[in-house]
Every structure is written in structure tokens, then in C-alpha cells.
Amino acid sequence: MPSGTEMDHVPALSAADVPQALRAAAGILAKGGVASPETDASALLAHAWGIEVRELSRRRLFAEAVPAAVLTDFAELIARRGTRVPLQHLTGSAAFRRLDLLVGPGVFVPRPETELLVTELLAELERLDERLDRDGDSAPFVIDLCSGSGAIALSVAHEHPRVRVLGIEREPAALEWSLRNRERVAVGASTVDFVRGDATAVVGDRPDLRSSADVVVTNPPYVPDDARPREPEVADHDPAAALYGGAGGLEIPALIIDQAEKLLRPGGLLLMEHGEEQGAGVRELIAATASLRGARTAQDYTGRDRFTVARRTGDDR
């Protein structure tokens, strides 16, 4: 962790220009172990200045002076980021696909790899659109279990012209973030609702949802209880309820798979995110169900197993 003297470097640059301020800040972040010090320094200076990163790049090119008040705010942000407070908590937002979502303490910060889960879901909705248009049915219905910030639910509704999405979240703080994001995101003719509920027992609480969903999507907690995440941003700041999935990591996902089977209509699709070493375990859990079949695991941007899909067969249960 940077010392107090190191934290003083930035505010001491009362006449610093943009390149000088960014170099000093990136050095502090690098000493603190931040993985992307230059990128984070730019994001925080832009945030402190109330401008876009693109505009900051222009001011950097021309070595513009940083106002003293901006420099002071920037120094405070760098000091906190140096202690590994998540960048998104400092800026108050997280980019996810086409959205800029509000995030902060109490909610899981959405990750880029989850964007691929949405891509797969949107492809399924395109296939459904052909059938629904042909049969004259209503808009497809998606249930998002463990909906967190609303990243998946809102992205799907924002990018698809006609879908109904229900997000179910147990933790009150996370639910509050999703409701705030719902107020900010344009979804056109689609609809999104967020409700409080336990994803491991939703059918018992909401029997009306049985066999109703065309798609069930979930990014559940799946970290083993005794496996502390390597990054302090995750271990110290993401809520434990969004991380830990039981002694082996798959206990909560197993319960959610059981619920998803009951929520899906025949032919409906389950999409579940999981850890890079859990693909085989998730496929085994799916194979043990009465009606989920065809489990397939897909990879993330780095080629690691990241989510598994399966389809419900048979008649209504």
C-alpha cells in the first residue's frame, strides 16, 4: 500500500499539466498493485474533471494544466484506488455492453465476460422471434436469477426490441442498485421488472412462474467458501452473497439449476455463468435433472470455460 508521502505527490503538483499528473498517479497505482494503472489514472482524472476520457486525451496531447481543485479531488481518488477500492466504486459506474450502470457498495460489479452470456441469450431470442411471429404469440419471457445490478436484464431489454424480463435478487442493497439502473436505461417496447426473491426457492414463493420462462439466465455465486479471490477489489468489496456458492462452489448453482428446470417451459433455455474450472461440474448437475438436456459449455474472451447452456425437454412438470 502506498505511503502517506506517496499519496502527497499528486496534490503537490499544484501547477501540473495532464501528462505530469497522469504519470505521477500511475506510479502510485502501480506501487499499490493495480493491474491497469495508466488506464485507471486516466479514468479517475476524467471523473474528477467531469469530462469524458476522450476529452482528457485531447487535453493530454496539448499538455493542458490541471486546475488545483481538480488535482486535489484527483489525488483523493488515486489514494483510495491505491488501497484497491474498485475503480467502479470511485467513478460510481461500470460499463457493460452498451450501458453505463450505477454501481457501488452492496452490489457485484459486472464483468466483461458476462457480456458473452448476453450475446448467447440475444441469439436465442432471435430464434424465438421467428416462432413467436409465426404463431402470433406474445413477447418472449426471460427470468434473470441473482440479477444484481441489473446488467444482464437491462442489456437484454435494451438491445432486443420486444422482450419481457423479470430480475430476481435476494439482497436488498443489490436490488436497490438494479431499481436505480432501471430508471436510467431506455428499453423501448420491452419491459423489465426487478423483485426481491430467493433464486434457490423462487418456484415455491412464486408458483405462477412455473413453466413460464422462455429463457432462464443466471450469474450465481460460485466461488468455494474457503477460496478467497486473489484481487482485493473482489475479496474486500464485492458482496459475499454474490461470490460464495457453498463449500465446493456449486451448491447454490445446483439449487438454482433445480429452480430453472421448474421455471422453464418445454423447449426453454438455461444459461448459467460459472468458474473456469466448473464447466464439467455444471454439466453433471444438468445431466442429473429430469428434463434439462444438451448441456454445452462456452468459453470467455480468454478461452476459459465461462458459462453453460442447456435446454428443457418434455412436457410441463
What span, in angstroms and rounded, lies between the C-alpha atoms of 237 and 231?
10
pLDDT in tens, 237-274: 999 999 999 999 999 999 999 999 999 999 999 999 99
Mean pLDDT over the full length of the chain = 93
Asked which of 15-24, 117-126, 238-247 is least confident by mean pLDDT, the reply is 15-24
Q: Which amino acid is at 46?
A: A
Domain coordinates in residue numbering, the chain:
18-83, 95-312
Please give the pLDDT value at position 316. 57
Residue of higher predicted confidence among 215 and 6: 215
Please give the pLDDT value at position 314. 79
pLDDT in tens, 71-118: 999 999 999 999 999 999 999 999 999 999 999 999 999 999 999 999
**How confident is residue 16, by pLDDT bands cut at 50, 70 and 90?**
confident
Average pLDDT over residues 60-73: 94
Dihedral of the CA atoms 19, 15, 76, 180 (nearest 10)?
A: -70
Average pLDDT over residues 180-193: 97
Q: Look at residue 4 and tell me whether its pLDDT is greater than 60.
A: no
pLDDT in tens, 201-241: 999 999 999 999 999 999 999 999 999 899 999 999 999 99
Please give the pLDDT value at position 12. 52
Q: How many CB atoms lie within 10 A of CB 35?
A: 10
Please give the pLDDT value at position 129. 85
Please give the pLDDT value at position 14. 54
Average pLDDT over residues 21-28: 94
Q: Look at residue 11 and tell me whether its pLDDT is greater than 60.
A: no
pLDDT in tens, 140-149: 999 999 999 9
Please give the pLDDT value at position 136. 56
Distances (CA, A) of 111 to 7, 46, 116, 118: 29, 22, 10, 12
Please give the pLDDT value at position 137. 63
Q: Look at residue 130 and tell me whether its pLDDT is greater than 80.
A: no
Please give the pLDDT value at position 264. 98
Phi and psi at 257, nearest 5°, equal -60, -40
* Closest to 306 (Cα-Cα) out of 294, 314, 317, 298: 298
Phi and psi at 81, nearest 5°, equal -65, -35
End-to-end C-alpha distance for the chain, whole angstroms: 56
pLDDT in tens, 279-303: 999 999 999 999 999 999 999 999 9
Please give the pLDDT value at position 106. 96
CATH class as words, domain 95-312: alpha beta
Q: Are strands 213-218 and 292-299 parallel, antiparallel or unpaired?
A: unpaired
Please work out, in degrees rounded to the nearest 5, the angle formed at the alpha carbon of residue 83 by the alpha carbons of 78 and 88. Answer: 65
Q: Look at residue 168 and tell me whether its pLDDT is greater than 90.
A: yes
Q: Look at residue 315 and tell me whether its pLDDT is greater than 80.
A: no
Please give the pLDDT value at position 209. 98
Please give the pLDDT value at position 47. 98
Q: Which residues contact 270 (CB under 8 A, 6 or more apart)?
A: 215, 216, 217, 218, 257, 260, 261, 264, 286, 292, 309, 310, 311, 312
